[in-house]
């Protein structure tokens, strides 16, 4: 009894601390681009959407209606669901393994990074996880005794899950396999009350099916065909590295032990059926996702896919841990706590401009969180100086959704872009009438984000934009974090203008290399061009200050790679410069370019770091 009280006190303390931190982070953290699009969907209420069933959008709408147009308000329903999940896991575990084990399972849910951070972001994984745990608890209850309460709980879980995500089909499938592997599960599935619950779950998919039937199966094709290569990829092996890191290594080992136990038919624990059920649900789903990982999408974030199965394993994980030596149990709890702190620290870093800047130039730089507030400020400033009937035109769905949230406008038009297709948003934007072909009768403020395009494809993208809207006037550059997040704002006239394509400038620094240690007089060399009009000069910046004027116009033919380039200066697009570093303090500095176009444009290029060694 004393052990149960202590475990309960620890759980309550952890729940209060973790929930408070999550609320703080959700208040500070800028919207992730997907969250912004879910907000946009919530402003266009419908039964289903191109990328998801309706629940996520409905919850974002509920959040802003209750909490106002702040990101914390939008996230409130998701924070609530995320805060309930540890209690639900604790209750399920306590029902079958005792109070102390239950509170320990709840505490592990609060500490495991993947589950602990649920609710910080307004994403469909939160209601989907909630639905998974509802179904998990209902299944365990129905295995012992089929009654109306258990069937109702199962129906509720299936309903919420069907309204959350296409991936919930997998949760249903894995649960069904686990039940078929158990004699008691097969007996349960013969009960009419269970099939009544399943019928509710089936009916809940009808809005999504209706949407697909009315839109050439666009959502199904994206989720099941277009986003997946369906060919073998050895990168699936990263699952064995990434998952232990994300759930912490020793806890991962304990959960895998739970999963393995499910395949032992003569396991002798109390509540053997429920034990095997939790282990089979978690083990089958984790194994299946690992195997599917060799054939499915690896370009987008997918590390959270095993989470519904992990909840099943967490329910019984404290039972396994209780058999470990005390020092290994302590290390497991310690590593899990450190994992949570690291996960929360990443979100805090992404929410703090000065800390986020430290990751500039790093592959972990959180671009999708960065720069939206300064961009919205710049857009408002530009709109003040433009005619009253000016409308914003976004380069892709990310910009349109993020600016829409900031400006309170859910109907910003968007240019066609591969990103819209890649993320399954084109069909939905088209339904709203927000895909622009570039034609217009009033002025537009065009906003582009060059970083959303692979650099080798960027010039082609600029020419595509020219084909749609006409030659691009000199842009206003909004650059954050040393240019790792850049936006270009163009004031387009009321009608598409004739003439050759004029694009933003392109450049590259060949020497010095990024992160290179340099000293004394630095010899710098590279190339730059601007299609349609060319460049009139290049200045060298160090830490945002002009350090030298480059000699621009040297022979450096890049037209062999940039075959469609129309800069009149080709092949004289090279530059050289020399600058003195002796007055710079030792440590890291940032090297950039200021590109002056022949049309009067001035564009600061993305900066790269270099090091001054200790003298």
Residue 169's contacts (CB-CB under 8 Å, 6 or more residues apart) are: none
**What pLDDT was estimated at residue 245?**
86
Residue whose token pair is 């191109």? 50
The whole-number pLDDT of residue 298 equals 61
| Model pLDDT for residues 83-133, shown as the tens digit of each residue | 999 999 999 999 999 999 999 999 999 999 999 999 999 999 999 999 999
How far apart are the C-alpha atoms of 458 and 465, rounded to whole Å?
11
CB 610 within 8 A of CB 591: yes
HEC-encoded secondary structure of 186-249 = HHHCCCHHHHHHHHHHHHCCHHHHHHHHHCCCHHHHHHHHHCCCCCCCHHHHHHHHHHHHHHCH
pLDDT at 297 over 70: no
Helix (H), strand (E) counts: the chain: 24, 14
* Res 233: pLDDT: 76
Alpha-carbon gap, residue 437 to 416, rounded angstroms = 8
Q: How does DSSP classify residue 544? A: T
Q: Is the pLDDT of residue 195 over 90?
A: yes
Determine the pLDDT at residue 219: 77
Rounded to whole angstroms, the Cα distance separating 97 from 119 reads: 27
Q: Are 464 and 507 in contact (CB under 8 A)?
A: no
Band (pLDDT 50/70/90 cuts) for residue 364 is: confident
The residue count for the chain = 615
Q: What is the pLDDT of residue 266?
A: 56
Instruction: Give the count of alpha carbons within 13 A of 210, CB side only.
Output: 10
Task: Dig out the tokens for 7 from the structure.
Answer: 């475990």
Structure tokens at 236: 């699936």
How many Å apart are CA 398 and CA 451, to the nearest integer? 12
pTM above 0.85, yes or no: yes
Burial-class residue 189 by CB neighbours within 10 Å (0-12, 13-18, 19+): middle
**For the residues 227-245, what does the mean pLDDT come to?**
76
Instruction: Enumerate the β-bridge partners of residue 594.
Output: 539, 604
Give the 3-state secondary structure of residue 489: strand
Residue 270 is predicted with a pLDDT of 47
Q: Is the dihedral of CA 189, 195, 201, 206 positive or negative?
A: positive
Measuring CA to CA, which residue among 424, 462, 471, 470 is closest to residue 299?
424
Tokens matching residue 256: 């895998």
DSSP calls for 49-100: -SSSBSHHHHHHHHHHHHH-SSHHHHHHHHHHHHHHHHHHHHHHHHHHH-HH
Can you tell me the mean pLDDT for 533-548?
Answer: 94
What pLDDT, in 10s, does the model give residues 343-359? 999 999 989 888 888 88
Of 105, 103, 161, the closest CA to residue 132 belongs to 161
pLDDT greater than 70 at residue 339: yes
The torsion angles phi and psi of 504, rounded to 5 degrees, stand at -65, 165
pLDDT at residue 299 above 70? no
Specify the pLDDT at position 268: 45
Residue 265 pLDDT class (50, 70, 90 cuts): low
pLDDT of 385 > 50? The answer is yes
Q: Kindly compute the dihedral angle of the four CA atoms of residues 291, 294, 300, 302, in this order, to the nearest 10 degrees.
A: 20
Q: Are 532 and 471 contacting, i.e. CB atoms less than 8 angstroms apart?
A: yes
- E strand intervals along 454-534: 476-480, 485-492, 506-511, 521-529
The candidate with the shortest Cα–Cα distance to 154, out of 206, 181, 189, is: 189
- Contacting residues for 172 by C-beta, under 8 A, at least 6 apart: 135, 158, 161, 201
Q: Are 44 and 52 in contact (CB under 8 A)?
A: no
Tens of pLDDT, residue by residue over 558-600, are: 999 999 999 999 999 999 999 998 888 999 999 999 999 999 9
Read off the pLDDT band of 271 (50, 70, 90). Answer: low
Q: Residues 542, 591: contact at Cβ < 8 Å?
A: yes
Alpha-carbon distances, residue 196 vs 24, 130, 155, 445 (angstroms): 42, 21, 8, 54
């Amino acid at each position: 009894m004393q052990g149960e009280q202590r475990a309960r006190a620890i759980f309550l303390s952890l729940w209060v601390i973790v929930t408070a931190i999550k609320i703080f982070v959700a208040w500070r953290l800028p919207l992730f681009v997907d969250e912004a699009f879910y907000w946009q969907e919530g402003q266009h209420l419908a039964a289903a959407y191109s990328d998801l069933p309706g629940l996520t959008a409905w919850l974002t709408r509920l959040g802003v209606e209750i909490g106002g147009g702040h990101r914390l308000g939008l996230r409130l329903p998701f924070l609530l669901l995320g805060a309930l999940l540890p209690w639900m896991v604790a209750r399920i575990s306590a029902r079958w393994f005792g109070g102390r084990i239950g509170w320990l399972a709840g505490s592990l849910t609060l500490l495991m990074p993947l589950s602990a951070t649920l609710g910080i972001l307004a994403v469909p994984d939160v209601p989907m996880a909630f639905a998974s745990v509802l179904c998990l608890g209902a299944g365990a209850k129905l295995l012992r005794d089929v009654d109306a309460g258990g069937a109702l709980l199962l129906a509720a879980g299936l309903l919420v899950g069907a309204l959350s995500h296409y991936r919930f089909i997998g949760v249903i499938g894995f649960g069904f396999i686990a039940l078929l592997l158990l004699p008691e599960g097969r007996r349960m599935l013969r009960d009419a009350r269970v099939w009544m619950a399943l019928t509710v779950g089936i009916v809940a998919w009808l809005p999504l099916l209706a949407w697909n039937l009315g839109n050439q199966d666009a959502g199904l094709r994206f989720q099941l065909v277009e986003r997946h290569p369906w060919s073998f990829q050895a990168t699936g092996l990263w699952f064995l590295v990434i998952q232990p890191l994300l759930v912490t290594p020793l806890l991962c080992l304990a959960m895998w032990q739970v999963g393995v136990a499910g395949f032992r038919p003569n396991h002798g624990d109390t509540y053997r059926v429920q034990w095997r059920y939790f282990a089979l649900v978690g083990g089958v789903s984790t194994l299946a996702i690992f195997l599917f990982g060799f054939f499915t999408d690896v370009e987008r974030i997918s590390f959270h896919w095993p989470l519904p199965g992990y909840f099943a394993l967490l329910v019984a994980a404290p039972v396994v841990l209780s058999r470990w030596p005390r020092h290994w149990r302590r290390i497991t709890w310690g590593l899990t706590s450190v994992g949570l702190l690291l996960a929360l620290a990443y979100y805090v870093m992404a929410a703090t401009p000065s800390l986020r800047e430290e990751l500039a130039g790093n592959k972990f730089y959180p671009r999708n969180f960065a720069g939206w507030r300064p961009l919205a400020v710049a857009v408002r400033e530009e709109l003040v100086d433009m005619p009253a009937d000016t409308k914003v035109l976004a380069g892709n769905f990310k910009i349109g959704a993020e600016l829409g949230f900031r400006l309170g406008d859910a109907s910003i038009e968007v240019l066609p872009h591969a990103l819209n297709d890649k993320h399954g948003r084109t069909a939905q934007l088209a339904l709203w009438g927000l895909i622009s072909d570039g034609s217009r009768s009033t002025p537009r403020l065009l906003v582009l984000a060059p970083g959303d395009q692979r650099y080798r494809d960027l010039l082609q993208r600029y020419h595509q934009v020219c084909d749609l809207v006409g030659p691009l006037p000199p842009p206003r550059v909004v650059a954050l974090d040393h240019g790792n997040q850049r936006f270009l704002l163009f004031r387009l006239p009321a009608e598409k203008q004739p003439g050759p394509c004029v694009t933003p400038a392109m450049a590259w620094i060949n020497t010095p290399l990024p992160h290179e240690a340099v000293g004394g007089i630095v010899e710098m060399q590279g190339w730059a061009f601007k299609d349609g009009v060319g460049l009139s000069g290049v200045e060298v910046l160090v830490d945002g200050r002009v350090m030298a004027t480059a000699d621009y116009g040297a022979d450096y033919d890049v037209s062999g790679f940039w075959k469609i380039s129309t800069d009149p200066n080709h092949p004289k697009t090279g530059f050289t410069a020399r600058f003195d570093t002796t007055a710079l303090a030792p440590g890291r500095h940032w090297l950039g370019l200021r590109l002056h176009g022949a049309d009067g444009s001035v564009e600061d290029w993305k900066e790269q770091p270099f090091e001054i060694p200790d003298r």
